[in-house]
Structure 1
């Protein structure tokens, strides 16, 4: 059975990490989309008008961008939130099952922008979509019985997860009964 490995050394790094990609919970419902974007831009020291223009064009919600967020459909809030997430270049993105936003064309555009961001940034991705993980990740980790197992190859992490979903341990974790 594979034993958990414990760190023997550590390295500290500093960088900017963003709230979960597509998270809309921090938007003030009484403010317009544009006002919320300006607020986030000021928080992160980003050029306000540049960010407003990027998110307005990216989100494709038309004049709703200038209406209170409380009037948005869930789809419009998702588009706005994803646009804000992609407007600010971060060192690390947190992604929790939110890459499928909107119709097929918007989804393709979102994935293209996300992949572009991930060329120069890292990400911590939580997903049940193995195909998404294989597309976006090189390595992976699986939380199993309270222990985190890290794999250099995403395929090995996916295999571990798939075995768990079937209720069996991966072969490399099974005890040899003949011992």
Structure 2
């Protein structure tokens, strides 16, 4: 279970403190599929960073009683002077996983070819994203975080990502943040709407969509 309790997040700007999240409360159970809808700038990425532990709230607290992934396909923590293989070894060392057992899967899944053994500074953004998603699949988490729709590679690569995440790991919890209502509807049973920094939680999908569309047009 993951619980966000009276959570607030503000950033300091030249105009003073700017609140992004206000008194957010949310519980995510094991195996639960939670979608968070919000327009651009609503604070969705801030929410996902706090869930992952990459950022701390300004006030309130978060309880994690299950392991949580980093945002899928996020490559911001890569060391660009290292090769893809070296980054794999580094991540596996952090999570106490045998990297040698994962090399074949990463090479085949990421489709990087010889670039897997080249420094990441020569990678394109798409190559980094493919490597990041592949690395996300070699560490098993209880809850996977998806920041926006996974748009990595071509249609065939999308199918591989879909199988690994939504079929092979169907029993895991998911948190998907997006402004794409159709994607949320397809994969989630509990839907939240983030608007004006406040999170509204709905068990009824249609009620959530009605609220979301009203918030868009305000």
**TM-score, L = length of structure 1:** 0.81
Does the 8 A contact of 1:96 with 1:126 survive in 2?
A: yes
Q: Structure 2: which 5+ residue stretches go unaligned?
A: 1-23, 30-62
Match of 1:92 among 131, 139, 143: 143
Cα deviation, residue 165, structure 1: 1.6
Q: 1:13 to 1:28 in 2, by over 3 A?
A: closer
| Match status 1:33 vs 2:92 | no
Query: What does residue 22 of structure 1 align with?
Result: 73
Write the distance in 2 (CA, Å) between the matches of 1:75 and 1:39.
21
Q: CA 1:112/1:155 → structure 2, altered by over 3 Å: closer, same or farther?
A: farther
Quick one: distance in 2 between partners of 1:162 and 1:51? 44
Partner in structure 2 of residue 131 of structure 1: 182
3-state secondary structure, aligned to 1:131:
helix
Aligned to 1:176: none
Larger proportion of strand: 2
1:73 aligns with 2:124: yes
| Structure 1 residue 156, shift from structure 2 partner | 2.7
Q: How does 1:1-179 map to 2 (within 5 A)?
A: 14-167=65-218
Q: Please give the secondary structure, in 2, of the residue aligned with 1:143.
A: strand
Q: Number of matched residues? A: 160
CA RMSD of aligned residues (A): 2.1
Question: Bigger radius of gyration, 1 or 2?
Answer: 1
**Cα displacement string for residues 22-73 of structure 1 (whole angstroms, at most 9, x for unaligned residues):** 1101110011001101111111112211222221111011110010011101
* Distance change in 2, residues 1:91/1:116 (3 Å): same
Alpha-carbon distance change, 59 to 150 in structure 1, aligned in 2, over 3 angstroms = same
Matches of 2:129 and 2:189 in 1, distance apart?
27
Structure 1 gap segments, 5+ residues each: 1-5, 168-179
| CA distance, structure 1, for counterparts of residue 73 and residue 201 of structure 2 | 26
Of Structure 1 and Structure 2, the greater helix share is in 1
Please tell me whether the aligned partners of residues 190 and 202 of structure 2 are also in contact (alpha carbons under 8 angstroms).
Answer: yes
Instruction: Give the SS at the match of 1:89.
Output: coil
